């Protein structure tokens, strides 16, 4: 989102952000602070529950008041809750003005539900209902577009695939620190992202590799104490460092090899950022990740501690050779540049305004 807003501001557009105020921490606050001077429509944070609940009525009313005052030409909602707000409020604004383009980018979230469960059926029925208030769907991966088609149905409105993109500076290589650990995990500390898989694989691979492997784990989340306990239980306390969230490129310098052990993903920025920085990595073949590496890439595994342990041994045995298996800079820039992303999304905005 930050990269997109920066590109839109550079193109001369007036941009604002309306988002939840209850998630994130000091790191996210610093990012918002750095952005706010450049956004003509400002940054507006208000409590929004992730799941449907009683607080939604008050949250929706507050959010609508903010958006009504901003009077945007385009409302682009991200995720299920943001998508619902953008489309409903955009439709309400049409009552008093000529045109508001309503765009929605589904991200993981509701698309992760099983379509055979009552909860899944409810969410996907709501998605089908909301399609009538949508001018364009923007998917960040072909995986998400296929998932939407399978679980919700064929989109009855225009839709586009627009990959996430990196800024030019994010394609500069990161130099590894002299005292770098073997492995890095960076992300939310929750089972969906696989920290437990990472820790189990670390314990297994150390025995097979002939020496204990060292690791840095960067991130925050409610499940963090459980991962501390897992590290203690497996006798890895002296080999794993836990650090608070930090800029990704700062974290990349702390290890030789990056691991993304997620059980589910959409199109994770951390994979793009790591490859853009020239880092070798192992990632799970979930969500849109294979679209980045290419089907059949030797860097891909299933979210399984045994598979990850085996791959760690292979990669660390000859890291130079393993690094050459990664997608290279020129190819990445052409497909995943922020300029490419912003240009495609701008086309979608103007097309929606003409509908």
Residue with tokens 């990445």: 332
**Whether residue 318 is found in the same domain as residue 187:** yes
pLDDT in tens, 73-87: 999 999 888 999 999
Mean pLDDT, rounded, for 304-326: 95
**Residue 181 and residue 94 share a domain:** no
Query: 215 pairs with which residues across the strands?
Result: 183, 240
Question: Are 124 and 181 found together in one domain?
Answer: no
The whole-angstrom separation of Cα 242 and Cα 23 is: 20
Got the DSSP string for 205-261?
HHHHHTSPPPEEEE---TTHHHHHHHHHHTT-TTTEEEE----HHHHHTTEEEEEE-
Indicate the pLDDT class of residue 329, thresholds 50, 70 and 90.
confident
Average pLDDT value for residue range 152-163: 95
**Contact in structure between 156 and 133 (CB atoms under 8 Å):** no
43 forms bridges with which residues in the sheet? 17
Angle at 50 between CA 45 and CA 54, to 5 degrees: 95
Q: Report the domain count for the chain.
A: 2
Question: Does one domain contain both 145 and 8?
Answer: yes
DSSP letters spanning 179-206: T-EEEEEES-SSGGG-HHHHHHHHHHHH
For residue 25, give both structure tokens.
């921490």
Q: Say if residue 164's pLDDT is above 80.
A: yes
Same domain, 177 and 326: yes
Residue with more model confidence, 136 or 206: 136
Average pLDDT, stretch 19-47? 88
CB atoms within 10 A of CB 76: 24
Q: In the prediction, which pLDDT does 108 show?
A: 66
Same domain, 203 and 316: yes
The pair of structure tokens assigned to 54 is 């009683």
Residue 283 and residue 345 share a domain: no
Question: Residue 49 is part of a domain; what is its CATH number?
Answer: 3.40.50.2000
Q: Are residues 324 and 345 in the same domain?
A: no
Least confident of 55-59, 186-190, 283-287, 296-300: 55-59
Bridge partners of 257, per DSSP, are 183
| Averaged pLDDT for residues 241-247 | 96
The pLDDT tens digits for 181-217 are: 999 999 999 999 999 999 999 999 987 777 899 999 9
Picking from 311, 307, 270, the residue whose alpha carbon sits closest to that of residue 292 is: 270
In this structure, the dihedral spanned by the alpha carbons of residues 336, 189, 254 and 274, taken in order and rounded to 10 degrees, is: -10
pLDDT at 95: 80
| Residue 170: pLDDT over 80 | yes
Task: Judge whether residue 317 has pLDDT over 80.
Answer: yes
The average pLDDT across 9-14 equals 94
Residue 95: Cβ within 10 Å count = 6
Contact criterion met (CB below 8 Å) for 251 and 184 = yes
Structure-token match 């890895």, residue found: 236
Query: What's CA 331's distance to the chain center, in Å?
Result: 21
Q: What is the average pLDDT score of the chain?
A: 92
Higher per-residue confidence, 275 vs 328: 275
Confidence (pLDDT) at 328:
84
Domain of residue 219: give its range.
169-335
Cβ 209 vs Cβ 316: under 8 Å: yes
- Tell me how far apart the alpha carbons of residues 126 and 119 are, in angstroms, rounded to a whole number: 11
Contacts of 304 (CB under 8 A, 6+ apart): 197
Dump pLDDT digits (tens) for 89-115: 999 998 877 689 999 998 766 787 889
What does the pLDDT look like over 119-132, one tens digit per residue? 889 889 999 999 99
219 and 317 in a single domain? The answer is yes
256 and 192 share one domain: yes
Same domain, 331 and 206: yes
Domain co-membership, 183 together with 259: yes
Compute the average pLDDT of residues 39-56.
83
């Amino acid at each position: 989102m930050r990269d997109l807003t920066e590109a839109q501001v550079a193109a001369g557009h007036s941009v604002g952000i309306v988002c939840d105020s209850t998630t994130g921490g000091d790191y996210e606050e610093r990012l918002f602070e750095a952005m706010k001077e450049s956004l003509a429509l400002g940054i507006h944070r208000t409590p929004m529950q992730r799941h449907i609940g009683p607080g939604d009525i008050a949250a929706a009313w507050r959010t609508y008041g903010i958006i009504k005052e901003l009077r945007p030409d385009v409302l682009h909602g991200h995720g299920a809750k943001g998508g619902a707000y953008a489309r409903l409020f955009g439709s309400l604004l049409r009552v008093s003005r000529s045109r508001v383009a309503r765009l929605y980018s589904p991200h993981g979230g509701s698309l992760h539900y099983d379509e055979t469960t009552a909860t899944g059926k409810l969410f996907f029925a709501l998605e089908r209902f909301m399609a009538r208030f949508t001018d364009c769907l923007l998917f960040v991966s072909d995986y998400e577009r296929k998932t939407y088609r399978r679980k919700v149905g064929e989109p009855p409105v225009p839709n586009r695939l627009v990959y996430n993109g990196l800024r030019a500076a994010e394609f500069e290589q990161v130099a590894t620190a002299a005292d770098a650990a073997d492995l890095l995990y960076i992300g939310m500390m929750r089972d969906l992202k696989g920290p437990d898989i990472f820790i189990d694989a670390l314990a297994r691979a150390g025995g097979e590799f002939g020496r204990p492997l060292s690791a840095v784990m960067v991130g925050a989340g409610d499940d963090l104490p459980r991962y501390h306990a897992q590290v203690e239980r497996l006798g890895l306390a002296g080999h794993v460092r836990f650090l608070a969230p930090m800029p990704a490129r700062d974290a990349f310098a702390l290890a030789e090899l990056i691991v993304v052990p997620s059980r589910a993903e959409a199109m994770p920025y951390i994979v793009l950022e790591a490859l853009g920085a020239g880092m070798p990595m192992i990632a799970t073949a979930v969500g849109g990740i294979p679209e980045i590496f290419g089907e059949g890439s030797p860097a891909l595994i299933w979210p399984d501690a045994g598979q990850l342990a085996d791959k760690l041994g292979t990669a660390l045995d000859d890291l130079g050779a393993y690094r050459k298996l990664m997608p290279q800079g020129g190819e990445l820039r052409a497909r995943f540049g922020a300029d490419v992303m912003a240009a495609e999304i701008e086309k979608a905005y103007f097309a929606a305004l003409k509908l």
